[in-house]
A and B are shown apart, each in its own frame.
Chain A
Amino acid sequence: MTGNRIEAFDSFYKDLFAKIYQYAFRLVGNSQDAEQLAQESFTRLYDFLANGSDVRNPKLLIYRIAHNVCLNFLKRQKTFDKLIGRPIAVPPSSNTNEKESFQKEYRATLVRQALRALPQRDQRCLLLYQDGFSYAEIAEAAGIKKTSIGKILARALERLSREIRQGEKT
């Protein structure tokens, strides 16, 4: 990479790091891992660009890379995932603030589990949708037809809502 391109990449990295970190955090639920995975995603994009590959929309590509990196991480850490991803029990506590915080954490773990249970394509679409991307952008990032996005999102939202409700019952 030439000096100008390195500078451009550095500014791109600074602009998007928070978004990618947030994206990773929603999937893995751990700040340290999310930070590492966000870094790894940028490293991969850098390698990709350094090899002379032409990228039309690096913003969408970084999201795509981040999702793959997170999925690989979760696959590698299956045992870890089982331990951390399981909804944590809410301990009886007299402290109201503590109880509320545990309940929030429990709910987040439940949602995260339900999200991970969705097919990869649905996860990707839903997270990009949540980040405010348009249907056209989601379609490009996920490699799907734009006309299918509405259907995929509607189904994914329903399924996620159903899974969360089931989780709540159990």
Chain B
Amino acid sequence: MSHPKKSALQAFLDYELSPRRQKQTEDHFAACASCREKLKNAKAVLESVGLDLKNLNPKRVPSPAPFVEPSRERVSRKKHPIGSLIFTPVRVPSGLLVFMGLMILIFAGLFYSERHQKGAGDVLLGKSEKSNFLTITSSEGTTEFMPLNIPWDRFTPAKDPIILVMKERP
């Protein structure tokens, strides 16, 4: 038999090994001096710590006070259908909570990005088939403007960035 491990040594001391294994381990201790030494040390630790733990016990144990049913109110409340609906705590699985949190984050992100793309006050220069025009996007929608002080066909947004007078494009 090989040298018993710490766990087997402890189990041997506590008579928790199977009878066959207990006998084998005992035989091994009889033959192996180093294991005998380990067993002696383990026994000493067990005895000293056991005594220390025993000394933690209280000197006097109070007699138990009569047991009062504390949750009677909570239990009886369940008998009322409306009350139970209001007061019974709902146990939500943590996985569902995480999923809901993720969904909220995703929707918030989508909403933000959409708002960001159509941000109020964004001014975009666009081109139509006919000519150039100016689009202003607000939260209410996109409005297209055309210049009044520059001839319609000569207006290029890149060259004429400042338009003083504009009217809504028909």
Residues of A near any B CB (own CB < 8 A): 1, 6, 9-10, 13-14, 17-18, 21-22, 25-26, 29, 31, 34-35, 39, 42-43, 46-47, 50, 104, 107-108, 111-112, 115, 126-127, 129-130, 134-135, 147-151, 153-155, 157-158, 160-161, 164
Within the complex, what minimum Cβ distance (angstroms) separates A15 from chain B?
A: 9
Q: Are A157 and B49 in contact (CB under 8 A)?
A: yes
Within the complex, what minimum Cβ distance (angstroms) separates B75 from chain A?
A: 5
Q: Place the interface of chain B in its size category.
A: 20 to 34
Q: Are A47 and B70 in contact (CB under 8 A)?
A: yes
Within the complex, what minimum Cβ distance (angstroms) separates B63 from chain A?
A: 8
Number of A-B contacts (CB under 8 A): 101
Interface of A is mostly: helix
14 contacts between A and B (CB under 8 A): A14-B64, A22-B61, A25-B57, A42-B67, A43-B70, A47-B74, A50-B75, A111-B52, A130-B53, A148-B7, A150-B7, A154-B7, A157-B45, A161-B48
Within the complex, what minimum Cβ distance (angstroms) separates B77 from chain A?
A: 12
CA A155 to CA B5, docked complex, whole Å: 12
Within the complex, what minimum Cβ distance (angstroms) separates A151 from chain B?
A: 4
Q: B117 within 8 Å of A by Cβ?
A: no
Q: Are A13 and B64 in contact (CB under 8 A)?
A: yes
Q: Are B53 and A46 in contact (CB under 8 A)?
A: no
Q: For chain B, residues 6 to 38, give those with C-beta under 8 angstroms from any C-beta of chain A.
A: 6-11, 14, 16
Q: Which residues of B contact A111 (CB under 8 A)?
A: 52-53, 55-56
Residues of B near any A CB (own CB < 8 A): 5-11, 14, 16, 42, 45-46, 48-50, 52-58, 60-62, 64-65, 67, 69-71, 74-75
Q: Are A46 and B70 in contact (CB under 8 A)?
A: yes
Q: Which residues of A contact B9 (CB under 8 A)?
A: 150, 154
CA A127 to CA B11, docked complex, whole Å: 16
Q: Are A112 and B56 in contact (CB under 8 A)?
A: yes
Sort A-B residue pairs by CB-CB distance and give the 8 closest, nearest first: A150-B7, A17-B64, A151-B7, A150-B11, A154-B10, A26-B56, A150-B10, A154-B6
Q: Which residues of B contact A147 (CB under 8 A)?
A: 7
Q: Are A154 and B69 in contact (CB under 8 A)?
A: no
Q: Which residues of B contact A161 (CB under 8 A)?
A: 45, 48-49
CA A111 to CA B69, docked complex, whole Å: 36
CA A115 to CA B56, docked complex, whole Å: 10
Identify which of A14, A26, A35, A160 contacts B62 (C-beta below 8 A). A35
Q: Which residues of B contact A150 (CB under 8 A)?
A: 6-11, 14, 16
Q: Are B16 and A135 in contact (CB under 8 A)?
A: yes
Q: Are A130 and B54 in contact (CB under 8 A)?
A: yes
Q: Are A31 and B7 in contact (CB under 8 A)?
A: no
